A and B are shown apart, each in its own frame.
Chain A
């Protein structure tokens, strides 16, 4: 969509070369991104299901969830957003320590909740390009409740394709964590080092 002129130029070239290639080349390039965003979510869902079905102990499962989070989520971006404007004032080493503590905290928090998904399944629906990233919609089927929507936002802004936000029936994970981290900081009178230490010991 950014380089419409590129498409036109290619179309012109393709006309000379003849055949259907004209419409296929640019579309293919576009579709591959949507497809790969969808594929990423497919893999996340498959990995989560595998952990849930593994029957491991809770501690082992939480460690597995943390690995999934690191593999598929843009942890640095999520952590920085959760910290909000405070991230600007933080030193690089503080930011690094916060990101590590946040990673543990969030995967434990959500990992504990994923047990509610036992026996359920998540279906990946469709993906569309939004701004600089992709929105992938999924439908979660849990036992005893009507199917509900879970949306992932996937970007390659970090250099790798990773998800950076999730909406569970409209609940924005980034916003919820930003509210929570903000409240934690307030409680500690804005002391980031104390927050990092507490996040490490929690969970």
Chain B
């Protein structure tokens, strides 16, 4: 009986083992990668894959021009703002258990409590995550991901990568994306139907974001002389800031001491 049960549901057991193994392998890979390339200052950029990254960038740009931008524009025009906000809240809600797991892995108990609180409040008062009730009482979103966990564990960002569709990343953060997708505690218990719906919500949220930050994205992608460098700078700086890598005093460039910033 037990045997039969197992043979009928091998994917669960197997995938857990498989995931665990692949996670170890990924962590190992990233450690290797970042060991050879870890930027020191906040203004340093490690981009050994620049030529292939630039190709992906051009691909992303044409994809944005042909599909994402026009669809996002129509989408945000048609859909009322409260609905857009609801979708964004719900998309964020789906990530909260994953945030808590990462907070715990980082031994950041404060944030783990905060995100658990957000999950409970938004899941109840916030009508299953549609309304960000927690933010109303000052519990603002404080997202985390496995890339951040790796950072906390002392792994450097590695090399810059531009991913198809998803855009800017690094070798470390890409590893994080893969691990988060494999380990999402929210979708682990969901049927394929709900998983697909979750992906749908995420896609809608992405469209909403593209519409909402339209002029920012447009100015980086279409108004700059070198949109690849600008996107790269944008991603790396925002990400480092998000990870709490504060500009250290000695890293601040002082144009009054060094006229040309050499």
Interface footprint category on A: 35 or more
Q: Which B residues from 175 to 234 make CB contacts under 8 A with A?
A: 212, 215-216, 219, 223-226, 229-230, 233-234
Q: Chain A residues near B136 (CB, 8 Å)?
A: none
Q: Are A85 and B252 in contact (CB under 8 A)?
A: no
Q: Are B255 and A80 in contact (CB under 8 A)?
A: yes
Q: Are A132 and B254 in contact (CB under 8 A)?
A: yes
The reply to whether the CB of B73 lies closer than 8 angstroms to some CB of chain A is: no
The reply to whether the CB of A21 lies closer than 8 angstroms to some CB of chain B is: no
Q: Chain B residues near A149 (CB, 8 Å)?
A: 241
CB contact between B215 and one of A116, A172, A179, A187 (< 8 Å): that residue: A116
A77 and B254 alpha carbons, distance in the complex (Å) = 10
CB < 8 Å A-B pair total: 99
Shortest beta-carbon distance from A92 to chain B in Å? 14
Shortest beta-carbon distance from B228 to chain A in Å? 9
Q: Are A186 and B226 in contact (CB under 8 A)?
A: yes
A159 and B19 alpha carbons, distance in the complex (Å) = 61
Q: Chain A residues near B233 (CB, 8 Å)?
A: 171, 175-176, 179
Which of A27-35, A42-50, A64-72, A162-170 lines the interface with chain B?
A162-170
Residues on A lying within 8 angstroms of B by beta carbon are 77-78, 80-81, 84-85, 87-88, 109, 112-113, 116, 130-133, 135, 144, 146-147, 149, 151, 153, 155, 157, 164-165, 167, 169-172, 174-176, 178-180, 183-184, 186-187
What are 17 pairs between A and B in contact, CB < 8 Å? A80-B255, A81-B260, A85-B260, A113-B215, A113-B216, A133-B254, A147-B140, A149-B241, A157-B256, A165-B253, A171-B237, A172-B43, A174-B255, A179-B229, A179-B230, A180-B226, A183-B225
